[in-house]
Amino acid sequence: MDTLQKRALRMRIMSIVGVLLVGVAVVGCSQSPATLSEEELLKLLVEAARQGPIQFKQHTWPLLEKKMITYCGRADEVRVLDTGSVVLMPVEKTYAGEKIPWLLEGKADSPDLARPHQPGEPLCMTGIIESFMERRDQYWGSVKMVSLEKPTAS
């Protein structure tokens, strides 16, 4: 194989690799997090009380982590900060007759999400559940909020 053929072969390989890299980048950037319904969310959250924190982290948490969730309930706290918003919502619903020992903490980079809302009012928080911690059989879930709205009447 002479140098001209080698050069042409390298050029073809480089163009194929370039196309593959662009394809991987486009697919990787365009994927949005999977969305869980409120019922699916409650079903997974109740598992924490059933399994305990270690089993929950190993078996159930991977099904929740980085998923888009919406939870509608009463806001315990609504805080507007200089650079963001914080909303605390206890999970006051039950699943299959069992209480769910969770508090969801929504955080956003914008103070505008929380500004129109007050503690005690019913709200729907939508965001990506990012982490959790457990203390004395109570669970605290951290949610990166993308929206905070009053529930619509159905």
Query: Domain residues of the chain, as ranges?
Result: 1-31, 38-149
**What's 38-149's CATH class?**
mainly beta
Q: What average pLDDT values come out for the chain (154 residues) when binned by 10 residues? A: 69 60 49 89 94 94 97 96 95 94 96 94 97 94 97 77
pTM for the model? 0.78
- How many Å apart are CA 105 and CA 70, to the nearest integer? 12
Can you read off the two tokens belonging to residue 140? 């605290």
Which residues, at least 6 apart from 129, have a Cβ–Cβ distance to it below 8 Å? 64, 65, 66, 67, 69, 104, 141, 142, 143
